[in-house]
Amino acid sequence: MPESHADDPPKRAEMPAEPTQASRFGKARTAQSGALMEDYVELISDLIGSGGEARPTDIARRIGVTHPTAIKTIARLKREGLAIAKPYRGVFLTEAGETLAERVRARHRVVVDLLLAVGVPAEAAEQDAEGLEHHVSDATLAAFGRFLRERG
């Protein structure tokens, strides 16, 4: 077996079968699409919890998008049965929307806790969890939870 040196390029992993790789990329695209909806319902829930309402203007500012973009996504939430909008009152979550927000919040917390457990600084853990929480599978999330419980 040839000797490996620190300056040798890393070995490439064997490519997965096409259907396996396509499935993995498809999962990532689906997660990215769902991530936006999840971020919105979580934020709407947080805004209602802290101030009693979630106005489209506040949502747009906190998500970092234009008002028309927020309105478009809120319309999608309404079509999906996750939110309702009351004229001059803002956006409210349906029972399904609130359930989703609670699930996303719990996922976020587990990912943050895991990152903190492996030594990631708090602010970086919060920031990184924003992306990771939408892409980890339920199996991975369960493993994170087991690891954290076993660790004590």
Residue by residue, DSSP assigns 74-123 as HHHHHHTTSEEEETTTEEEE-HHHHHHHHHHHHHHHHHHHHHHHTT--HH
Residue 5 has pLDDT above 70, yes or no: no
Confidence (pLDDT) at 2: 54
Residues 44-80 have pLDDT tens digits of 999 999 988 999 999 999 999 999 999 999 999 999 9
Confidence (pLDDT) at 17: 79
Nearest to 74 by CA among 114, 53, 44: 44
Residues 14-28 have pLDDT tens digits of 877 777 766 666 666
DSSP state of 8: S
Q: What are the extents of the domains in the chain?
A: 27-151
pLDDT band at 31 (very low <50, low <70, confident <90, very high): low
Supply the CATH classification number for the domain 27-151: 1.10.10.10
Confidence (pLDDT) at 139: 93
Residues 85-121 have pLDDT tens digits of 878 889 999 999 999 999 999 999 999 999 999 999 9
Q: What are phi and psi of 21, to 5 degrees?
A: -65, -40
54: three-class secondary structure by DSSP = strand
Q: Residue 109, Cβ neighbours under 10 Å: how many? A: 12
Residue 32 has pLDDT above 80, yes or no: no
Find tokens 């806790």 and name the residue.
113
